[in-house]
Amino acid sequence: MNRKTPLLASAAAVALALLVGCATQAPTATTQHPTVADKASGMQLSVNTSPPEQERASASRHLAPNLEGFVWTLTHAQAADGSGSGSGSGNSSSAQAIAGLPPAPEQPALVLRFDGQQQMLAVQGLCNRLMGSYSTQAHTKEVQAGNAQANSAIGGALHIQPLAATLMACPEPALMQLEQQVSALLPQAQSWHIRWTDTPQADSPGAAQLQIDFAQGQRWLLQGQWTHEALYGQPQRMFLEVAPEQQACNHPLMGQMQCLQTRIVHYEPNGRKTLEGAWGAFYDPIEGYSHQAGTRHVLRLKRYTRQQVPADASQYVYVLDMIVESETRR
């Protein structure tokens, strides 16, 4: 007996999401399913998660940090009186300090993403996702720190409009209180500053730290990690159907392993799904996706192309964008 779980509210919503995702044609099936000829020609298949540290370190030496180039995780929240809470691991204890709540390490980290194209800020790690427009003014300066490395700083004015939120119910009153505090505080932001070092460290390749100062004297410190777009450029969107069960496959670098069985999916403008090609083994990891045995998925993926391919890695980096369909077989 099959149990189908719709993940979008209506057929119209599905069609809209698919039309957005199909702006670029998906690659051919041979791109995803290496043939014997591909292996014989020396095609490299990924055994790494992405982006690896060496790619982040390389980016730190060659890319100019900015708000939009990083995913920012809150590590320290300081109140107007100078008191605050910090966490090197990036859990929610810093965010909890905003509302004067006790630490809750089981909660996800509070994360800020700045979309420069849309001029939209997204806040994750709360009960709901917060979204709002923003604008900045920037200036840059160089600060020397000893003879071994150079620190740089960029910053300026920051204006955030009142935030909208999704409408999920919060099971924890404390989390809802925290969300309300964050939503009220961010529009009071006045300035931002990014400091970074061009020299990668062992535990932080090319560290970048964002400081946000607020009107009433509060201050946030956030740790940055390069976005995939900053590292690889704009992605190609594609749809991939994943079979309920993995199968044994012969990876040229790892020998016998369990691989996802996949096939490329196309959607017509009216939202009707068409399938292409045969099922085949998918060797690359999909960042953000965890396969559940017995469940078939249709995934919308972002496929990034590496300009410089590390040893023993794929030319492509796959990141989950959305689970479009889900069907569990009992």
Low-confidence ranges of the chain (pLDDT < 70): 1-65, 84-107, 138-152, 197-206, 251-255
Distance (Å, rounded) from C-alpha 66 to C-alpha 44?
33
Q: What is the pLDDT of residue 139?
A: 64
Summarised one tens digit per residue, pLDDT across range 278-308 is 899 998 999 999 999 999 999 999 999 998 8
Residue 92 to residues 8, 110, 197, 219, 267, Cα–Cα distance (Å):
29, 6, 26, 16, 40
Q: How many CA atoms lie within 13 A of 306 on its CB side?
A: 22
Distance (Å, rounded) from C-alpha 296 to C-alpha 283?
17
Summarised one tens digit per residue, pLDDT across range 164-196 is 999 888 888 888 888 999 999 999 999 999 987
Residue 39 to residues 45, 111, 309, Cα–Cα distance (Å):
9, 40, 16
User: What's the longest Cα–Cα distance across the chain?
Assistant: 68
Domain 63-231: top CATH class: mainly beta
- The pTM (predicted TM-score) of the whole model is 0.64
Q: What is the pLDDT of residue 55?
A: 57
CATH 2.40.128.270-classified regions of the chain: 63-231
For residue 163, the Cα-to-chain-centroid distance in whole angstroms is 20
Q: What is the pLDDT of residue 14?
A: 36
Q: How many CB atoms lie within 10 A of CB 93?
A: 22
